[in-house]
Chains A and B, each alone.
Chain A
Amino acid sequence: NAGVMQNPRHLVRRRGQEARLRCSPMKGHSHVYWYRQLPEEGLKFMVYLQKENIIDESGMPKERFSAEFPKEGPSILRIQQVVRGDSAAYFCASSPSIQGTDTQYFGPGTRLTVL
């Protein structure tokens, strides 16, 4: 059973470009979470999605950031007009449901560098 997959693993963008980060959850998991880890800092929750629905985006910056989890295909975290402060590791996690006992399984992350 393949784990959570993220691609690309490394992404370099110039200021003002768009970044698209993809996450394929574990088989059978319908809940996806995105977290961001700035250099030398802890992980911060960004958004929680179920298939075709955004459930909680309380951690997502109001501008330039968006996320989707379509019926078919991976979840996408999209950052428009990137700035240097967006440079970070972005981790995706998935779980089968949302009970307190459920484990979140994390992907290897996408490391975004904005030049």
Chain B
Amino acid sequence: DAKTTQPNSMESNEEEPVHLPCNHSTISGTDYIHWYRQLPSQGPEYVIHGLTSNVNNRMASLAIAEDRKSSTLILHRATLRDAAVYYCILLIQGAQKLVFGQGTRLTINP
């Protein structure tokens, strides 16, 4: 499975944008970039995914580098409820299992 590298932790303030980076230098052409998050004491929750183009949904935006070796999850206006561990995962088409790394623990300050 292709690997991803994320910072162990990040901190931001409420109502400010947050940019969560992910490096995936060994990504192949068929790997999708997925982001999940896990709030305290809960199961993981899907956030967003993309292949080549930048993506937006109601939760976040995903900016993918032109060479696809890195991506950034953008929370446009963080709230206290966004405090969670964020996982960047590569998934090849047709793959079944999610391979979770250590993720980035995001702390939001009021």
Contact = CB atoms under 8 A, between A and B. Distances in A.
Interface of A: 4, 31, 33, 35, 42-45, 48, 55-56, 58-59, 91, 93, 98-101, 103-109
A84 to B, nearest CB: 21
Given A43-B100, A45-B98, A100 B46 contact: no
Interface stretch (B12-20, B37-45, B63-71): B37-45
Contacts of B31: 100
Contacts of A48: 96-97
Interface residues of B, number: 24
Interface of B: 30-32, 38, 42-46, 49, 87, 91-103
Nearest to B95: A100
A33 B97 contact: yes
